[in-house]
Amino acid sequence: MDSKQPRLNDQRERVIVIRDLKISFGDLHVLRGVDLDLYQGENLVVLGRSGTGKSVLIKIISGLLEPDEGSVNVLGQDVNQLNSRELDALRLKIGFSFQSSALYDSMTVRENLEFPLIRNVRNLSRAEINKAVEEALEDVGLSQTINQMPSELSGGQRKRIGIARTLILKPQIMLYDEPTAGLDPITSNEINNLINEVQERHNTSSIIITHDLTCAKTVGDRIAMLLDGRFERQGTFEEIFEDPNDERVKQFYEYNFVD
């Protein structure tokens, strides 16, 4: 399988800028000086073994956790300086696709998609809501499921609907936490393609956290590997994995299967 041709924006506008980020829990120094840039329109894959602090990083970016040191700027705003109302407004511009973001089983697909709209956007007409739901379903290629219940859908379809529910608020940044976890290779491939389609259609900037190197290779314009609390290695998939001498990188590669 070929790697993705990196899609790098000429103007290189940055939507996330993180500098010297540090956080510890007691004696556990999780992030020890993280520097990271996310450029407009790119897919950045964050790789790292379990417990290296990937979820902590996402929580800091979204203002759910405060770092001990360092700066986090998201869409031009210093996250640590925002009050709770400003943070809520910023979070509406970020789409979270988490493993735990399950659909409501008692609601149809349509109702699941309407839910974030009705809760977060005031004064929408019925026609506007219908249009937004239809567009979001088209985005994920599942228009025909609009009146179905989540229990009638496959795991991959549910995942796509979950992503549609996030896209309906037209986020500028997408954060995908292990998007292919628990999915078979064919369904994983569909989700990887969807991540690329979302990027192309909406020019969204995304961080994709994954252990899955096939996912990293398929969706990543750039890969950042979290090692010992820092992004010591950043680059294209080939750049990251071409150095056979770095034992930690090698171990990670050998742990996975990439065709």
Minimum CB distance to ligand ATP smaller for 99 or for 193: 99
Q: State the sign of the Cα–Cα–Cα–Cα dihedral 141, 142, 146, 150.
A: negative
Nearer to ligand ATP, 30 or 137 (CB): 30
CB of 60 or CB of 140, closer to ligand ATP: 60
Which of 18, 177, 41 has the alpha carbon at shortest distance from 96? Answer: 177
For ligand ATP, the binding residues (CB under 6 A) are 25, 28, 30, 48, 50-56
Shortest distance in whole angstroms from residue 30 CB to ligand ATP:
4
Q: Which is nearer to ligand ATP, 55 or 77 (CB)?
A: 55
Closest CA to 90 of 113, 54, 67, 64: 64
Cβ neighbour number for residue 19 with a 10 Å cutoff: 14
Nearest approach in angstroms of CB 119 to ligand ATP is 27
Distances 252 to 36, 49, 54, 235 between C-alpha atoms, Å: 21, 8, 15, 16
User: CB of 224: closest distance to ligand ATP in angstroms?
Assistant: 13
Q: How far is the CB of 64 from ligand ATP (least distance, A)?
A: 10
Residue 164, both tokens: 């549609």
